[in-house]
Structure 1
Amino acid sequence: MKKLINDPADVVSEALLGMAAAHPELRIDHENKIIYRADAPVQGKVALVSGGGSGHEPLHGGFVGPGMLDAACAGEIFTSPVPEQVMAATRGVDGGAGVLHIVKNYTGDVMNFDMAAELAAAESGVEVVAVVTDDDVAVQDSLYTAGRRGVGVTVLVEKIAGAAAAEGRDLAAVADVARRVDAAGRSMGMALTSCTVPAAGRPTFDLPDDEIEIGIGIHGEPGRRRVPTAPAREVAEMLVEPILSDLDFTGGDGVLAFVNGMGGTPLLELYLMYNEVATILAKSGVTVVRSLVGPYITSLEMAGCSVTLLKLDEDMLRLWDAPVRTPGLRWGV
C-alpha cells in the first residue's frame, strides 16, 4: 500500500488540520471533527448539517460554506459520525430557524443522525428535520442499507437546499426542496479498481484486471454484476439505461447531468464519459440544461465513475444557479 499518510490512525485528524490551514473561511472543531462555516450560526437562517464517513471528499466537508452546508461531521474512514458529533454540530449551527439534517441512506448514518436529532431536541429544544437521500438504482437493499443507497444526488441536495435556506425559506420549505431533489434524482456507479482503507492496508475487494464492477456503492460494496472490461460507450449504456428505466427524464425544465469520479479517474476520462452519457441522453429525448463533471463524492482512490441525473423544475434550476462559496463548489460570487 502506497499512500501519502503518516499513521493510518491519524489520517482524518491530520487531513482536518490541513483543511483548516488551507481554508481560513472555515472553522474546524478538531476535538469533535466538525467543519463549520466561519460565521455559523447564522441567525434567522435554516442551518444545514450533513456528514458521513471520511474518504468521500470533497463530500461533505468540502461543501461547507455560504450557499450549501453550515456544518459537516467527519466520521472515521467509511464510518458514520457518532451521535455526539452530530448533536454538537446541530447545536453549533442553530440560528433559531431550525436545522435540516441531510443523511445518506446507510444504516449507521440514519441511526446516528436520528439519535442526534432526538438528543438535540430534548436537551436544547432545537427543531430538526431529516431528509434521507436514496438515489442509487443499482440495488434495493445492500449490506449497509435498507432500501436504496444515498450517493451522487446528495451533492445536489446539499447545493439546492442550501440555496433555498440562503434565500430565507423556513425549515419546512427547505426540507421540501431537499425531498423534491432526492425524488427527482437517480444514480448508478461502476468501478475499475477497488480502494484501500488505510487502516486495512489491502484492497477492499478483488477485481481482476479484465473485469469491471457495475453498480458499486461508495464504500466498495458489491454492485449488480461483474462484466468484462468494455469501451466507455458500452459502460455509459450500462449506467444510463437503468436510470432512464427507473424514472422518466423527458419533458419538464430539463435535466442536470452529473458524471462523478470515484477518486482515481482522471478528468480526461470523466469528460470522455460525459460525452458518451450526453450522446445517449440526446438519443433518448432527454434535454440536458446543466452539467457537473468531476470527483465530488469519491471512494478514496477507487478508479471508476458514477452518473447522476436530476429532473429539474424551474425552482430547482434557479436554486442550482444561485451563488455558492465552498472549497468544493464555487460560482456566482
Structure 2
Amino acid sequence: MRMLINVPESVVSDALRGVAAAHPDLTVDVENRVVVRRDAPVADKVGLVSGGGSGHEPLHGGFVGLGMLDAACPGEVFTSPVPDQMARAAAAVDSGNGVLFVVKNYTGDVLNFDMAAELAEDEGIRIAKVLVNDDVAVTDSLYTAGRRGTGATLFVEKLAGAVAQEGAPLERVEAVARQVNESSRSFGVALSACTTPAKGGPTFDLPPGELELGIGIHGEPGRERRPMMTSAEIADFAVHAVLDDLNPTAPVLALVNGMGATPLLELYGFAAEVHRVLRERRVPVARTLVGNYVTSLDMAGCSVTLCQADEDLLRLWDAPVRTPALRWGI
C-alpha cells in the first residue's frame, strides 16, 4: 500500500488537523469531528449542515463557508457520521432561524440524520431535511433504497447556501434545495477501483482494459461493465442517460466531476465531449464547473451532473461563495 498516511486509524483526524492548519476561517473540532465556519452562528440566517463518510473530499468540509454550508460532519472513510456529530453541528450554527440538513441518499446517512434531527428538535432547534437522490444509473444499490445522492449535492449546497446567505426563511431555503435536487441528475463512470486505507487494496475488481458504467461514489456496482471506451463514447453514454431521465426544458448547470485520480487534462477533454453531446441534443449550457469535487478516494473516473436552472437559480449560482473548494464573487 502506497498512501500518504500515518496509520489507517488516524486518517480522518489527521486530515482534520490539516484542514484546521490550512483554513483559519474555519473552526475544526478534531475530537468531535465537526467543521464549522468561524463566524457561526450568523445572525438571522438559516444554518446549513451536511456530512457523510470521508473519502469524497472536498465534499463536504471543503464547502463550509460564506454562501454554502455552515457546518459539515465527516464520518470515517465511506461511513456515515453519527447523530451526535450532526446535532452538535446544528447547535453550533443555529441562530434561531432553524437549520437545514442536506442528506445524501445512503441508508446510514438517512438514519443518522433522522436521529440527529430528533436530538436537535429536543433542544428547541427547528430542523428541515432535504434528501439528495440524483443518480440515474441504478434504482437501488448496496448502500441505498432508491437512487444514490452524488454530484447534485454540490448544487444543492451551493444554491441553498446562497439563498440562506441572503437571509431567506427556513421554508424558502428548504424549497430551493428541493427544487435543485428535483432538477438535477447524475451519472458516474469508473476507470479503476478505489483503495481505502483500512483495506489497503482495491475495493472491487475491475480488470485492466475495462470500465464500469454507472458506478457509485463508494465503488458500488453500476449498470454494466464494458471494454474501455473513448472519452467521446463515455460522454455519449453518460449524457444521454442523464438527459433521457431529466428532459430539461431550460438551460443547465453542468458539473464535470473527477472521481479523485483523473487529471484536469483528461477532465477538460471530457468536458468538451459533454458540451458536444449537449449541443447535439440542443440543450443550452448556462454554467460549467470542471474538477474533482465529489470524489471516491483514488478512483480514476468521472461523473456528469446536470441541473436545469431558471433565472433565479442562475442568480444564486453566481452569488458570492468563499469556501476552501469553491470561491468566486468575493
Instruction: Please report the TM-score for the alignment, with normalisation by the length of structure 2.
Output: 0.99
Aligned AA (2:7): D
**Aligned equivalents of 1:9, 1:256: Cα separation in 2:** 38
Partner of 1:304: 301
Partner of 2:185: 186
Partner of 2:318: 321
1:234-293 per-residue CA deviation (whole Å, 9 max, x = no partner) reads 0111111111110212x32x1111100000000000000000000000010100010000
Partner of 1:239: 238
Q: Taking every aligned residue pair, what percent have the same amino acid on both sides?
A: 63
1:81-112 per-residue CA deviation (whole Å, 9 max, x = no partner) reads 00011111111110110000000000000000
**Aligned equivalents of 2:174, 2:143: Cα separation in 1:** 25
Is 1:54 the counterpart of 2:51 in the alignment? no
Partner of 1:33: 33
State the 1:314 CA deviation.
1.0
SS of 1:309 mapped into structure 2: strand
State the 1:143 CA deviation.
1.0
Instruction: Please report the TM-score for the alignment, with normalisation by the length of structure 1.
Output: 0.98
Matches within 5 A, 1:1-333: 1-122=1-122, 124-249=123-248, 251-252=249-250, 254-333=251-330
SS of 1:51 mapped into structure 2: strand
The runs of at least 4 consecutive aligned structure 1 residues that moved more than 4 Å come to none
Structure 2: stretches of 5+ with no match in the other structure: none
Aligned AA (2:68): M
State the 1:160 CA deviation.
0.3
**Aligned equivalents of 1:2, 1:237: Cα separation in 2:** 35
Aligned AA (1:44): D
State the 1:76 CA deviation.
0.3
Aligned AA (2:40): A
1:157-182 per-residue CA deviation (whole Å, 9 max, x = no partner) reads 00000000000100000000000000
**Aligned equivalents of 2:105, 2:58: Cα separation in 1:** 18
**Aligned equivalents of 1:30, 1:255: Cα separation in 2:** 38
Aligned AA (2:152): V
**Aligned equivalents of 1:315, 1:207: Cα separation in 2:** 42
**Aligned equivalents of 1:109, 1:5: Cα separation in 2:** 26
**Aligned equivalents of 2:14, 2:255: Cα separation in 1:** 30
Paired residues, number? 330
Aligned AA (2:96): G
State the 1:230 CA deviation.
1.0
State the 1:296 CA deviation.
0.3
**Aligned equivalents of 1:31, 1:92: Cα separation in 2:** 15
**Aligned equivalents of 2:109, 2:222: Cα separation in 1:** 20
State the 1:202 CA deviation.
1.2
SS of 1:12 mapped into structure 2: helix
1:34-89 per-residue CA deviation (whole Å, 9 max, x = no partner) reads 00000111121000000000000000000000000000001000000000111111
**Aligned equivalents of 2:191, 2:247: Cα separation in 1:** 29
Aligned AA (1:10): S
